[in-house]
Amino acid sequence: MVQKLKQFLFFTQEGYTYEPSGIETQNLQILGDAEGINLLEAFKNLKLNQPYLKSSTYKNVIAIETVGEVIYNLEI
């Protein structure tokens, strides 16, 4: 039996970013998304497929399983 892959989104509260105006903003940093039969496999795939994470020092990564459709390119 073939198991369906699940999609996960990985993010962290560590770090910071800047608003378009240049003002520093503390928020969640999206690290990426990955598929796997479970969370641990998806996390392994994330690390394999996102080479920039190899040199990162994130200690508190959060994951959430995405369900349903995803909408891209929304603007505030």
Cβ atoms of residues 29 and 17 within 8 Å: yes
Residue 67 has pLDDT above 80, yes or no: yes
Q: Name which residue leads in pLDDT, 68 or 54.
A: 54
Work out the pLDDT band at 1, boundaries 50, 70, 90: confident
Enter the pTM of the model.
0.75
Query: Residue 36: which residues within 8 A CB-CB, separation 6 or more?
Result: 5, 6, 8, 42, 43, 44, 45
- Give pLDDT tens digits for 16-44: 788 889 998 888 889 999 999 999 999 99
The chain-wide mean pLDDT, for the chain, equals 88
Token pair 């369906």 is found at 4
